[in-house]
Chains A and B, each alone.
Chain A
């Protein structure tokens, strides 16, 4: 009886949920790598995910213990977490020895030996662990314990003690029993008692565990509770993943699949690629080849048969499952495992199929199934020829990250032996235990295993951070809000955690500046093509699909010059492409390398030794052919035309009528953006909309540094588009009718903040009325100074920048980084993200949040009764920020597993992703160099809204509900009226009460300036209140002063 075809198709779709959701690397998607499992509770997923994915869930014990030592985790939090976890069981006495709480705390606090059996043998044989107490045991307690033991031993002459004495002191049989008390105590040297004690303890434990272990073993083997039908919890899933990874199969599949998904790198493309994965594979491999590797020498027969008899992928899967003898009940898990064992490529295939708009050469639906069919076909072949010699690399990597299971007596006994020392269990007490007590003790060890310990550690770590953050927010919100009477400048930035510091510095510099946070696509979801670009890019969060197209065009008077420049660019581009492909060819390569080859040393030397100068020279040279700097966005479309991509009309002209938004749509977007951030009155004369992007060299992950809310693109065009809409008089007139009065004097300006080089540039300045020039110049000076300070603050994180660096040097340093060919860390991106605040900036203005917080502006007092604004804000902000946070967190937990490992051997493949070295699975996730400063924590959302509102929103929006109720992110609220804070835990809100911080301070830590707080420190900092604000006069003076000392005038365009 074989499994039905429908069931196979269904299983394949289910399995696709487990795959990483990373599109092409050029459009880096920050998504939760386990997004498909969000309907399950985080803790439950983590329990299984380590074994199934063969990645680490949570950090290693020693790293948590290191945090414990440095005070990043504190014992009181561990206690709290354990208490919540255990409830009444916490105080229960385990085997009459100690409370469960104490036992678990000891297991957390002390670096116990959980290692491999062979390692233990070595420890027993080569170290003094059976002769000397563990170093944590204090001298006094040691003396006391030994004294009692001595008395007892002398009085009782327990057989175990006697056996020990015989062994330790080399006494003959019976001597121990026969000696009188006084002679006995005299004949054991004082220095030997420690040894005797420990040896007795060890013997007692070993004997006890031996009796108990059989029963306990059965208990541990009991299957874990099945989690809501998920494939993940299938008991044989990890085993299937191992059995479906065969290096020989993988090697072939990697070669073929990368040729199949190639977006245009290879010189000659895969023949027949347009026929789909399955057809293409069977046709190409149906040619006989005698030289093929032995295990697949018969592949061509199979392929030919499949091709000629027109057997589809589903039937082939069915056949393969039968041949591999997979039971029907196991089939879905097996299929899932077969995908997971080559998950990088499988995920990419799935993306080419489900997000065709992200690829130049997408695949038709059903390609993943065809991929799976090929994989199973090859696996059946491989199974017939098991790999033998080491040379054909038929090795399957052993699961490295899954910790060794404690299953044998010695290991358990040794664990208890170490615990007994730190908890002061004496041999005399242990020798009294009965079998059932021993069983409890052993069961306890199993129950609080590796995974559980790390989970508790992680929870305590997150709690520490949450307490610190909530406490700061609570204390600050109890103080009055800070908002300028009449703002001189308003800056709207992305919610990105990197903009937190820029905004803080701006506010610090000038008290009359007001800043706002908005999702970096400014509500304008569009496909955008710049004037020199070949392709459209989707400028909105990856979870959305745009419906509009916008292009950038040179202004009408420069069209001619644009055409000639475009021709020049095309000419140079063609020459360059020729040169590149020729340099890899034979004749051309010879000519090129003999004639101009030696000249390559010049750019190489200059690029590597003088990166910045070279970059500047390049830029100057490029100016001659760059597209004209005066451009406009093609933003408006007549309401009669449906939105469409520009296309070539029949007569050769370009039909771009479908490009842009209608006036009505623009009004909606404009209104929505202003209402979202609560900027509905008190407009400043200048309102800057600041998108952000990043620039760096030699970095396949460049797109990951761009704006996460723009799907890995720079957010400048969106800011520019929104500014254009808001400056449009027709839009403003209609907004007035809608109750939004923007003064005539207010000018919106779009801009782009380069988060790597700290350069800020503005769009459409040529349209600026002359009366505004002075104000804009002031504003740009202020921004330049803020950016300079921002660069300085960022430099504290770079080990290669000195801690004593000055602000100007810092600016130079960050600019150098972005132009350096050898730099693997152009910036740290959102590498320190930990919280996300949604609320009014004035409530928390002045807080030093250490670039750790996403900041979204939202004014609950302006929202409707049904919280319509909050609903739409959270619908975008929560999944976006959660995705960013979890991708960072998972990548930091196991950089080689969830992340893409170190950048050093990365090898770009098919223009869609990177492999490790010569050939490996595609590596989605963030590289180690991007997460090495990240501390994995789930994001803590702090939302300024009532608890009822949030409960209602969770009710309405399943995504929010999944994320918060299943704790993929934590949630807390501040009541907009009473400022009372609540934490969301176990499906309900609990009031939060701040206690004193670790140094016993009741109030907030304060500093005059940001720099005073972060100076000379590299690590994560606690939040603080920056007080310099009130004295705006003085800070402004220093700002003006430093501006005169040669801050570069901003490039104006």
Chain B
């Protein structure tokens, strides 16, 4: 009973807050800064206490796993489809949800003062609360469809916060880019969920992993099925965690207010891909091929982020690539099956990086203090070191890094543009066919540019 109440108290307060805030804003009521901050903090504290109680309870008793079933929300027996909402509390999700809540609490306290008097204060907190709900749901999701729900909320609030300053062009363009890549990843996720349902008859994460609790659980899928589902989930994770070739969006996402950048791209959001892989960790072990693919992808991203991060001249991009580097190493760890290490790595990295990002505006002061400490003479030696060796390799390496591995260009010029062209061609074809048919039928169709065309052109 206690477990049930606690479990409910982890999820219900953020949901209630998001609903409440969304509704009241919709109805035109604008709560004061103080009220918003207080309600957010109260929610976070309540949820954290509940999560901590669960943790203590599990530590004291032998129970290492608890599932809260909210029931089936959609049930179509004829089509063999159901949508069940379940929350799973185990040794993976509890630490992660506690981490999320602590960080969200800190960030909301920070943002309360940082955004004081800003005209977007309310909007920020609305998105932030949606994010909070999303991250809590994702972390404790017990079925793949529940996870998808949280995953979407996180994606939505991310993109909206990137485009927070919507009166400038760049934030909106970059928000759109983030959104597009997220949608692509979400597509893969959704596809994976369907395949999983098809294969196992349900989306329960622990069912799919066998009955034993995380991380000892064994997967019920066979190797080839695991490979298919795993690859799809890997695409979803790669999009969310900005692994190669999706890495381009991560530095571009640093458009929102500093605290949102800290929580999303330093701490939680960027780790969600890794968390997803961790969640389905036992399944990955079914297919060595899949494991090697994951290790390779992580490795490539690590090399990429290491190279590119070295030349960044602004603090937020530098931190973004530093984050990416660690995330990719975490992915490699997951590939090798080092799940506890990966979990600890996530927790440590998220805490450290969000502090670094929050302190990013202090860079000049910190830098100066550091230089003062190291002293004057040593530094002069350093800067007078001549670097006249301009070898082609050095130039190539620098340009590769400066152009961020050309990843954005590749996606734009080789994927997005041909894709658009192809579909425009289809569009044209369709129109010609329709015209042909309708003229054949004796009726002229008014020539009118399609709406989608206009939207793309603009």
**Set of chain B residues within 8 Å of A929, measured between Cβ atoms:** 117
Counting chain B CB atoms within 10 Å of each CB, the highest count among A25, A395, A917 belongs to A917
- Looking at the complex, which one of B302, B315, B355, B395 makes contact with A603 (CB distance below 8 Å)? B355
Please judge, given known A-B contacts A268-B398, A532-B372, whether A904 and B115 are in contact too, CB under 8 Å: yes
**B347, A906: Cβ atoms under 8 Å?**
no
Interface-facing stretch out of B43-51, B142-150, B285-293, B401-409: B401-409
Interface-facing stretch out of A127-135, A286-294, A959-967: A286-294
The total of Cβ contacts below 8 Å across the A-B interface reads 314
Question: Chain A's nearest CB lies how many Å from the CB of B173?
Answer: 5
Say if the beta carbon of A534 comes within 8 Å of chain B: yes
Question: Chain A's nearest CB lies how many Å from the CB of B258?
Answer: 6
**Set of chain A residues within 8 Å of B406, measured between Cβ atoms:** 289, 291-292
Say if the beta carbon of A872 comes within 8 Å of chain B: no
Per-position contact with B for A251-281: 1 when CB-CB < 8 Å, else 0?
Answer: 0000110110010111111111010000000
Say if the beta carbon of A90 comes within 8 Å of chain B: no
**A821, B169: Cβ atoms under 8 Å?**
no
**CB-based nearest B residue for A800:** B116
**Set of chain B residues within 8 Å of A272, measured between Cβ atoms:** 388, 390, 395
**A609, B254: Cβ atoms under 8 Å?**
no
**B373, A904: Cβ atoms under 8 Å?**
no
Per-position contact with A for B229-261: 1 when CB-CB < 8 Å, else 0?
Answer: 000000000000000000000011111111100
**CB-based nearest A residue for B410:** A291
Please judge, given known A-B contacts A700-B364, A916-B165, whether A259 and B313 are in contact too, CB under 8 Å: yes
Please judge, given known A-B contacts A569-B373, A905-B258, whether A594 and B312 are in contact too, CB under 8 Å: no
- Looking at the complex, which one of A293, A603, A825, A920 makes contact with B170 (CB distance below 8 Å)? A920
**Set of chain A residues within 8 Å of B370, measured between Cβ atoms:** 573, 576-577, 580
Say if the beta carbon of B109 comes within 8 Å of chain A: yes
Please judge, given known A-B contacts A391-B416, A820-B113, A824-B116, whether A909 and B365 are in contact too, CB under 8 Å: no
Per-position contact with B for A273-315: 1 when CB-CB < 8 Å, else 0?
Answer: 0100000000111010101111000000000000000000000
- Looking at the complex, which one of A271, A361, A820 makes contact with B395 (CB distance below 8 Å)? A271
Please judge, given known A-B contacts A271-B390, A566-B375, A573-B370, whether A598 and B170 are in contact too, CB under 8 Å: no
Say if the beta carbon of B427 comes within 8 Å of chain A: no
Please judge, given known A-B contacts A902-B118, A908-B361, whether A583 and B356 are in contact too, CB under 8 Å: yes
**B325, A597: Cβ atoms under 8 Å?**
no
**A294, B314: Cβ atoms under 8 Å?**
no
Please judge, given known A-B contacts A395-B169, A700-B361, A908-B364, whether A822 and B255 are in contact too, CB under 8 Å: no
**B170, A393: Cβ atoms under 8 Å?**
yes
**Set of chain B residues within 8 Å of A225, measured between Cβ atoms:** none
Please judge, given known A-B contacts A291-B409, A293-B412, A577-B374, whether A585 and B170 are in contact too, CB under 8 Å: no
Interface-facing stretch out of B9-17, B189-197, B303-311: B303-311
**CB-based nearest A residue for B316:** A907
**A608, B352: Cβ atoms under 8 Å?**
no
Question: Chain A's nearest CB lies how many Å from the CB of B194?
Answer: 29
**B376, A535: Cβ atoms under 8 Å?**
yes
Say if the beta carbon of B444 comes within 8 Å of chain A: no
Please judge, given known A-B contacts A269-B387, A283-B395, whether A596 and B352 are in contact too, CB under 8 Å: yes
**B170, A919: Cβ atoms under 8 Å?**
yes
Q: Which of B263-296 contact A (CB under 8 A)?
A: none
Q: Which of B343-367 contact A (CB under 8 A)?
A: 344-345, 347-356, 358-365, 367
Say if the beta carbon of B206 comes within 8 Å of chain A: no
**Set of chain A residues within 8 Å of B417, measured between Cβ atoms:** 389, 391
Say if the beta carbon of A360 comes within 8 Å of chain B: yes
Say if the beta carbon of B456 comes within 8 Å of chain A: yes
Could you tell me the distance between the alpha carbons of A534 and B109 in the complex, rounded to whole angstroms? 35
Could you tell me the distance between the alpha carbons of A295 and B403 in the complex, rounded to whole angstroms? 14
**Set of chain A residues within 8 Å of B114, measured between Cβ atoms:** 822-824, 904
**A589, B325: Cβ atoms under 8 Å?**
yes
**A908, B360: Cβ atoms under 8 Å?**
yes
Chain A, interface size category, equals 35 or more
Please judge, given known A-B contacts A26-B364, A697-B365, A932-B117, whether A821 and B352 are in contact too, CB under 8 Å: no
**A583, B322: Cβ atoms under 8 Å?**
yes
**B361, A906: Cβ atoms under 8 Å?**
yes
Per-position contact with A for B368-407: 1 when CB-CB < 8 Å, else 0?
Answer: 1011111111110001001110101011101101110010
**Set of chain B residues within 8 Å of A573, measured between Cβ atoms:** 370-375
Q: Which of A45-63 contact B (CB under 8 A)?
A: none
Query: How would you classify the secondary structure of chain B's contact residues: helix, strand, loop or mixed?
Result: helix
**A604, B106: Cβ atoms under 8 Å?**
yes
**Set of chain B residues within 8 Å of A287, measured between Cβ atoms:** 392, 395-396, 399
**Set of chain B residues within 8 Å of A594, measured between Cβ atoms:** 341, 344-345, 348-349
**A917, B255: Cβ atoms under 8 Å?**
yes
Per-position contact with B for A915-935: 1 when CB-CB < 8 Å, else 0?
Answer: 111111000000001001000
Say if the beta carbon of B185 comes within 8 Å of chain A: no
**B109, A266: Cβ atoms under 8 Å?**
no
Say if the beta carbon of A247 comes within 8 Å of chain B: yes
Say if the beta carbon of A390 comes within 8 Å of chain B: yes
**Set of chain B residues within 8 Å of A917, measured between Cβ atoms:** 165, 168, 170-171, 174, 254-256, 316
**A584, B392: Cβ atoms under 8 Å?**
no
Say if the beta carbon of B138 comes within 8 Å of chain A: no
Question: Chain B's nearest CB lies how many Å from the CB of A245?
Answer: 11
- Looking at the complex, which one of B110, B168, B177, B376 makes contact with A608 (CB distance below 8 Å)? B110
Please judge, given known A-B contacts A566-B375, A822-B113, A911-B367, whether A589 and B322 are in contact too, CB under 8 Å: yes
**A910, B387: Cβ atoms under 8 Å?**
no
Say if the beta carbon of A243 comes within 8 Å of chain B: no
Q: Which of A556-574 contact B (CB under 8 A)?
A: 566, 569-570, 572-574
**Set of chain A residues within 8 Å of B341, measured between Cβ atoms:** 594
Could you tell me the distance between the alpha carbons of A974 and B117 in the complex, rounded to whole angstroms? 41
Counting chain B CB atoms within 10 Å of each CB, the highest count among A389, A566, A918 belongs to A918
**Set of chain B residues within 8 Å of A597, measured between Cβ atoms:** 345, 347-352
Question: Chain B's nearest CB lies how many Å from the CB of A92?
Answer: 43
**B351, A598: Cβ atoms under 8 Å?**
yes
**A821, B318: Cβ atoms under 8 Å?**
no
**Set of chain B residues within 8 Å of A25, measured between Cβ atoms:** 364
Question: Chain B's nearest CB lies how many Å from the CB of A56?
Answer: 13
A573-B371, A593-B353 are known contacts; what are 16 more A-B pairs with Cβ within 8 Å? Answer: A270-B311, A534-B372, A585-B306, A585-B325, A589-B349, A597-B351, A598-B351, A601-B351, A821-B359, A823-B114, A902-B118, A905-B254, A909-B315, A911-B363, A917-B316, A919-B252
11 A-B pairs whose Cβ atoms sit less than 8 Å apart in the complex: A267-B310, A294-B413, A533-B372, A535-B371, A593-B326, A698-B358, A820-B113, A822-B114, A907-B254, A910-B313, A917-B171
B interface residues, Cβ below 8 angstroms from A: 102, 106, 109-118, 164-165, 167-171, 173-174, 176-177, 251-259, 302, 306, 309-319, 321-322, 325-326, 329, 341, 344-345, 347-356, 358-365, 367-368, 370-379, 383, 386-388, 390, 392, 394-396, 398-399, 401-403, 406, 409-410, 412-413, 416-417, 420, 456-458
**Closest 8 A-B residue pairs measured CB to CB?**
A597-B348, A573-B373, A917-B255, A904-B257, A584-B322, A291-B406, A593-B349, A822-B113
